[in-house]
Structure 1
């Protein structure tokens, strides 16, 4: 199957999955998408800098980040038009239409120039999106490649429950599978590979006894 066909299949799957659920997505996710606000606090974009969210969903994170960092500009894309419909309404309702731009795009084949007219960005973040993206390794590669000198890529996603009870891991992973979510056990190795290939510095931190994993890739100035 071609990459274009796979992207189309993923778009249809996400639209079908979240056509209804998007209306109460943020209310339910706040209880277990842990570490998102920690990531946003650590973004610290430079004055006038640009921040990209890959897989922006309902734009909840972009809105929180835009309020936290008022001196920066924000852009985000998602493969699901259903999610973007909700995202656009939320951005406008918060009066942030001038500072947050949204587009439809595929995380496995995105180009910041084509989507937003940006050659590079200062920050990229991926919050609980890699576990839903089939070409997740390619998304990391592209996110890192889009960084300006001194820029950083920030990731938070489900970990492997390495210091939590095995039963909790089995039950939670089963529930995640119902929403086509697959925690990426190879995330540290993939980040190490991308860091080596692109000359980036890497940091990686398990959170909450391995419930979540947090990592950054930083391009030298």
Structure 2
């Protein structure tokens, strides 16, 4: 697995659109059912994963936070509740996801603290060293160019700041590996077709996870683009990984 392998995985094989354009189209289509699918398919464990990741930032007590690939804003809202920063900015290429996120932010009473805006992870529209902390949950494998996106995250992070990346990974221990692969290969696309009415999106998910660099390889890429003190912690038998890195 390399960063180039995951870049080749796209939702719509044969499409002339770039991966970035395909991702925006896919997420716009499933935006209304995205949150339900996340919680349903993970049996709610995804909420705990996000909490574990955000706890990594507590000692830092960041005042400004950027949430990359923010989607419907789950991490941004949870970060405001747990870390109480002065300002959180969430960026995503899917306006459909952001619209739902803004409604959730307003409902939570955080409109003065959280701003969600259209943004490309590979050309982040902020100056160097802008944020105390950066989060990205289940989004970096969707980057069209993984190294470029991670490099941009490093660029806008202040020296001494921390990035926390939460991403799916492939378990290796028996029988979790076998059960996980069966679920992802057969059950996930079927649920996606039935509930989200988009089989392509939930066929893309296992393919992208399979090709995503993880563990030491992902740590090496983070170091390559400029991060330091990189660590990786696996969660739930290796189904998910939390990467922490400082600038």
**TM-score under structure 2 length normalisation:** 0.75
Higher fraction of helix: 2
Task: Give the CA deviation at 1:57.
Answer: 1.1
Aligned counterpart in structure 2 of residue 170 of structure 1, from 175, 181, 185: 181
Who is 1:198 aligned against?
A: 226
1:202-213 aligned at under 5 Å gives the runs: 202-213=230-241
Q: Deviations over 1:156-211 (max 9, x none)?
A: 11111122423213123322772522215423324323314525221112222211
Who is 1:21 aligned against?
A: 33
Who is 2:143 aligned against?
A: 133
Task: Give the CA deviation at 1:216.
Answer: 0.9
User: Kindly tell me: are residues 31 and 131 of structure 1, through their superposed partners in 2, closer, same or farther at Cα, counting changes over 3 Å?
Assistant: farther
- State the superposition RMSD in angstroms: 2.6
**Are 2:154 and 2:225, in contact at CA under 8 Å, matched by a contact in 1?**
no
> Secondary structure of the equivalent of 2:56?
helix
Q: Deviations over 1:120-160 (max 9, x none)?
A: 21111111112333433322221122210110111111111
Q: Residue 148 in 1 paired to residue 158 in 2?
A: yes
> Larger RCO: Structure 1 or Structure 2 (Cα < 8 Å, ≥ 6 residues apart)?
2
Q: 5+ residue gaps in structure 1?
A: none
Which of 94-103 and 158-167 deviates more?
Answer: 158-167
**TM-score under structure 1 length normalisation:** 0.83
* Aligned pairs, number: 211
Q: 5+ residue gaps in structure 2?
A: 1-16, 190-200
**Are 2:129 and 2:155, in contact at CA under 8 Å, matched by a contact in 1?**
no
User: Kindly tell me: are residues 141 and 41 of structure 1, through their superposed partners in 2, closer, same or farther at Cα, counting changes over 3 Å?
Assistant: same
Q: Deviations over 1:6-27 (max 9, x none)?
A: 43332112212x1431363564
User: Kindly tell me: are residues 84 and 153 of structure 1, through their superposed partners in 2, closer, same or farther at Cα, counting changes over 3 Å?
Assistant: same
Q: Residue 42 in 1 paired to residue 56 in 2?
A: yes
Give me the whole-angstrom Cα distance separating, in 2, the residues matched to 1:125 and 1:169: 26
Who is 1:189 aligned against?
A: 217
Who is 2:121 aligned against?
A: 107
Give me the whole-angstrom Cα distance separating, in 1, the residues matched to 2:114 and 2:43: 22
